Amino acid sequence: MNDLWKDAFGEEVPASFEARMRQILASLEEEPKIRRFRFRPATLIAAVLVVALLAGTALATDFFGLKSLIVTDPYAVAEATAAPPPSDLIALQGFPQSAEFRANAEWMDYLAAYGAAVDTEARVEPRYAFYSVSSDDAGQALDEITARYGLKLHTSLADFDSEDDLYSLLGTRPFISNCAAISGYVYEDGSFQGDGTSVAGRCYEYQFGRYVKGSFSEVTLHVGNPNDYEEWMYTTSGGVAVQLSLGPSRCVLMADLPESFVAVNLLGGTLGDSLFMPDPVTRSDLETFAELFDFSAIG
Amino acid sequence: MTKDDFAVQIMDMKKTLYHVACGILRSEADREDAVQECILKAWEKRESLKSDAAFRSWVTRILINECYDICRRSSKIIVLDELPDAVAPDEIGNRDLRDAIARLEDIYRLPIILFYVEGFSIREISQMLLIPEGTVKSRLHAGRGKLRMLLGEEVPV
């Protein structure tokens, strides 16, 4: 590394920044803060037995691989000096035939053509605040797409910093087992995005997304080469069919529920090379992970 | 990890944490808020970190998340694994490398800071930003190109 780079950033850290760090460090308590640990081995064993009994029964939904969810990566198109590489970006709002998926796919196409990576700070209407709209033209395009598919834009959100806050904002009963921590934000319609940790035999670090049907979301996820994933349908002990995708460095869980579509990005894979989940994730681990969620409560 | 060990490791990272916060947030107050939340969350979740060797990357990733949260609260959210848009360019013409980096779009600026300034590997950056290694490389390449345009001279590698 050339020292010039370091020199350019080599100035001292502002005193107020360092003071804040020291202040927070001094206030830390020694007691572990992992909260609401509710892992009950007996419950899990029972759940696994039920799942074994259910194995082989008809699945509640059709199977779609991650490959079918690929959308145009607007950033790759904008950055490419020649032909852009194959996109590894998937939309997370629904299976391919759904209005929510198709709308997001069209929106990604539009952003790619429009130049998503072009940085602007144009003033746009506040109603586009939660979307990548940087001009009136883009706003109009988004309106056309959402109108075509009968979808609404998000209008507001609220943060949550605990499992209890999340359930309170959603008005639901608890639906995450063994949750050690979760934080994120909930939109006005109950769509939400959260970073979570659950401990069930091992630690699971994940990003949980719930996308309410009828609303437009532009959340996407890089998955690498979709051919590297082992994928199968799995029926939870609660009788909900979920699609599981076991990849080298991450895993994806998807469930098409009556009122929403759930997509969970597990931050670890078979290689065990993840920063957050350094031990390899197995097929069994992923099925255990799926059992941590009561999808009937999510709706 | 004891509180003292944790504090020592965090304070050893103060420059990295500040540089990363600067890479995403423009306001000093926001940077301080982000590092505060980062420290609290890292302490709270420390049991989930199995390898001490990954501590620096792990804490940096937590800080990046906190910075994104602050961006989202104040403006817009784009995608799960991408950076938020738009930092207004300052007046063009300043040939200082740091100012030029500050003028880069977010998607190029943070990989540049993490790789060239902080010395993280492509793989570590890929895991921190949740983007493929190839994307990290292409953003570094494109970011260098943009810096050349801004600086009008060869950019060190």
Residue range(s) defining the domain that contains residue B157: 87-157
Tell me which of B77, B95, B123 is where a domain ends. Answer: B77
CA distances from B85 to A107, A117, B127 (A): 16, 8, 20
Interchain pair A20, B10: CB under 8 A: no
Least confident range from A26-35, A109-118, A135-144, B96-105: namely A26-35
What per-residue confidence (pLDDT) applies to A283?
Answer: 97
Is there a single domain that holds both residue B111 and residue B72? no
User: For position A154, what pLDDT does the model report?
Assistant: 93
Rounded CA-CA distance B32/B9 in Å is 18
Question: What percentage of chain B exceeds 70 in pLDDT?
Answer: 80
Q: How many alpha carbons lie under 13 Å from residue A152 in its C-beta half-sphere?
A: 13
Residue A2: phi and psi, rounded to 5, are -75, 135
Cβ distance B135 to A221 less than 8 Å, yes or no, reads no
- Contact between A90 and A254 under an 8 Å Cβ cutoff? The reply is no
Residues from chain A that touch B96, judged by Cβ atoms under 8 A, are 8
What are B49-94's pLDDT values in tens digits?
Answer: 767 778 888 899 889 888 888 877 665 333 333 333 323 333 333 3
d(CA A54, CA A44): 15
Q: Cβ separation of B78 and A218 shorter than 8 Å? A: yes
pLDDT band for position A240 (cuts 50, 70, 90): very high
Average pLDDT over residues B92-114: 74
Give A75 to chain B, closest Cα distance, Å: 9
Percent of chain A past pLDDT 90, that is, above it, reads 48
Of B48, B77, B106, which residue is a domain's last?
Answer: B77
Q: Do A20 and B139 touch (CB under 8 A)?
A: no
Residue of A nearest to B105 (CA): A119
pLDDT for res B131: 78
Distance from CA of A89 to the nearest CA of B (A): 10
Interface with B, mutate which of A12, A28, A110 (most B CBs under 10 A):
A28
Q: Is the pLDDT of residue B108 over 80?
A: yes
Phi-psi region of B12 (alpha: psi -120 to 50; beta: other; left: phi over 0): alpha
What is the per-residue pLDDT for A7? 62
Measured in angstroms, the CA of A264 and the nearest CA of chain B are apart by 11
Residue, of A117 and A297, whose pLDDT is higher: A297
Whether residue B82 is contained in a domain is answered as no
**Diameter of chain B by CA atoms?**
49
Q: How many helices (H) and strands (E) does chain B have?
A: 8, 0
- A16 in a domain, yes or no? no
Q: What is the CATH number of the domain that holds B140?
A: 1.10.10.10
The pLDDT assigned to B157 comes to: 47
Lowest pLDDT segment from A54-58, A79-83, A85-89, A188-192: A54-58
The better pLDDT of the pair B108, A166 is held by A166
Domain identity same for B157 and B119:
yes
Confidence bin at A246 (pLDDT 50/70/90): very high
- Structural element, H or E, at residue A253: strand A251-256
Q: Structural domain tally of chain B?
A: 2
Do B91 and B73 have their domain in common?
no
- Containing structural domain, residue A151: 36-299
pLDDT at A52: 35
Number of domains comprising chain A: 1
Higher pLDDT, B73 or B8: B8
Whole-number CA gyration radius for chain A: 21
Between A12 and A104, name the one with better pLDDT: A104
In chain A, the residue whose alpha carbon lies closest to the alpha carbon of B87 is A121
Does residue A5 form part of some domain? no
Nearest to B133 by CA among A103, A66, A88: A88
Q: Which two tokens stand for residue B96?
A: 């200082």
Same domain, residue pair B50 and B69: yes
A184-239 residue pLDDT tens: 889 999 999 888 888 888 889 898 999 999 999 998 888 888 999 999 999 999 99
For A89-98, how does the pLDDT look when each residue is reduced to its tens digit (9 = 90+)? Answer: 899 999 999 9
Q: If you count DSSP H runs as helices and E runs as strands, how many of each does chain A have, helices first?
A: 9, 11
What's the CATH code of the domain at B65?
A: 1.10.1740.10
Whether residue B37 lies inside any domain: the answer is yes
Q: For residue A224, give the nearest of B6, B45, B132 by CB distance.
A: B132
Mean pLDDT of all residues belonging to chain A:
82
A147 touches chain B (CB under 8 A): no
Q: By mean pLDDT, which of A9-13, A166-170, A220-224 is the weakest? A: A9-13
